[in-house]
Amino acid sequence: MKNYKRLLKYMRPYLRQFVLAVICIILAAGANLYLPWIIKDMIDKVLAEKDMMMLNAICIGIVVVFFLRGIFFYGQSYLVSFIGQKVIIDVREVMFRKFQRMPMAYFDKHQTGETMSYITNDVAAIQSALVDQLIELVTEGSILIGSLVLMVVLDWKLSLLTLVVIPLVGQAMKIFGRKIKRNGTIIQERMADITSLLQESISSIRVVKSFVREDYEIKRFCRQNELNFQAAMKNVQLTSLLTPSVEFLAAISVTVIVWFGGYEVVEGTITAGALVAFLTYAVNLANPVKRLSRVYGNMQRAMAAVDRVFAVIDLEETIADRPDARPMPETHGHVEFDHVSFGYKEGVLALSDVSLEAKPGQMIAFVGPSGAGKSTIANLIPRFYEVTFGAIFIDGRDIRDVTVGSLREQIGIVPQETMLFSTTVRENIRYGRLDATDAEVEAAARAANADAFIRELDAGYDTEIGERGLSLSGGQRQRIAIARAILKNPRILILDEATSALDTESEKIVQAALDHLMVGRTSFVIAHRLSTIFHADQIFVIDDGHVREHGTHEELLAMGGLYSNLYNIQFKQD
């Protein structure tokens, strides 16, 4: 229960509400303990002794007790739900913060749907453990303890006989609880698989329809759904076995009580009313034990989700600020790679012994076959990944010696696949600098050759562009991304094949915007079309993770090597 104790620490800010909630739960449960005593007094005093005063007192007591019980029940429900919702909000926020800080390597290995499942399905299971199960745990626990105390008051010998069965019940709950928790982990994993499949299938719906694979996707979903069903039914099987097992043990206890209690009434040791009250408390004892077994099973299943959540929270943040890291001052854009090697997998290098230098304001281009390592070089500059060997310096500072945030604030990236948010054009551009004024946003759009088409949209800059900006063309999305980078005004710029997916007309417009963006900045350009980098200060030809050639366009053509070969392939028709 270590992780459950960890979870309860999130309740500390709401300790006052929690104490009030527990008081309300106990008092509401206490009303249930009043009824058997009423039955005892009805039999022994009202019916046996014809005591009308006692009858009036009992009737008034019933009304008062259940009126107060209603108030306490409302208090327990509201307060526990309030605490549960607050804790869930806090846990969800902690998880979201964790995912925001996780390195790119984590997202390379985990599907988006799986990550979403942690914050949705697993956190929802935690809510059940904190709200519904906690109320029932304290309620039934109070009734259990109260019943035991009153049973001892009525007849301590019978109470001892009753207590014999409790260790047996505890052992049964322990055995079943372990199995339920293991199965609960499987259920949460199955739900994560379903969420991943849903996200993947729906986000790729265009591909699904173009290949007419609707039936194939339905079969995939049905397969995952069936696996989830099997895991859920295993949980039902275990919880269904736990409850009757506990009930059977409780029934044995009640049987013993009935026999010995009846014997004591015959002998005159206790009254008939006391025995009836004792039996009622014994039944009250059996019911909480039965319910507590169900609560225990549900909490074990929820604990599987709790374990998954804390496993994520405890993940190491491999790219984090060093203890002595300082903010990077405004950079001039002098970038050096000093014998850099890097591998996505241990023992397998994607880059090997790369050394290069980019002086302030220079344009550095990377070309080479697909998978050669061009994008890897670009991803190392903002520390999306950590170098395996060697070092990267900006203005003479090792980028590991400065804070990650201050480093990335001075780097602008325009990727090949533009990612826009489901909000307005204005807010998408303002993402480059959140405190920018409307005038600055529009100036950035003009510099990116985007102002004209934006003003032609239905609501201009306030037009909602939908999920990932799919209501816009590829060229329009790319120009908004460039405007966003212009607004950020970085000293270092990374262009990752920013025009390769565009048609010729869109490419010319976007390239003009990129040329404007690169002025005065140190730019790293990953190029597919060599025509976009003829004027680069240095071109590095990457192949199989190594720098094979470097120089200007004319120098590389004169070498007659890999670059010359790539050039001839692209321009042989001309």
User: Is it the case that residue 573 has pLDDT exceeding 60?
Assistant: no
Residue-range domain boundaries for the chain: 2-313, 324-410+491-574, 419-489
The residue written with tokens 């990267």 in the block is 392
For the ranges 198-212, 284-298, 387-401, the maximum mean pLDDT occurs at 387-401
Query: What's the confidence (pLDDT) of residue 465?
Result: 83
| Domain over 419-489 is classified CATH 3.30.1330.10 | no
Q: What separation in angstroms does the CA of 569 have from each of 84, 529, 555?
A: 64, 11, 18
For domain 2-313, the CATH superfamily is ABC transporter type 1, transmembrane domain (1.20.1560.10)
The mean per-residue pLDDT over the stretch 266-284 comes to: 72
Q: For residue 330, is pLDDT > 70?
A: yes
The CA distance from 545 to 352, in Å, is 6
Q: Which pLDDT belongs to residue 162?
A: 67
Contact 480, 429 (CB under 8 A): yes
pLDDT band at 203 (very low <50, low <70, confident <90, very high): low
Q: Mark out the alpha helices in 102-212 (DSSP H runs).
A: 104-109, 112-117, 123-130, 132-154, 156-163, 166-203, 205-210
The matching CATH number, chosen from 1.10.132.20, 1.10.390.10, 3.40.50.300, 3.30.470.10, for 324-410+491-574 is: 3.40.50.300
pLDDT band at 395 (very low <50, low <70, confident <90, very high): very high
What average pLDDT does the segment 395-410 reach? 91
324-410+491-574 and 419-489 agree in CATH topology:
yes
The whole model's pTM is what?
0.69
Q: Is 459 in a helix, a strand, or coil?
A: coil
Contact 431, 486 (CB under 8 A): no
Q: Angle 156-163/272-313 helices, nearest 10 degrees?
A: 40
CA–centroid distance for 258 within its chain: 53
Higher confidence at residue 343 or residue 504? 343
d(CA 483, CA 450): 8
Task: Convert the pLDDT of each residue in 158-193 to its tens digit.
Answer: 777 666 666 666 666 667 667 776 777 777 777 777
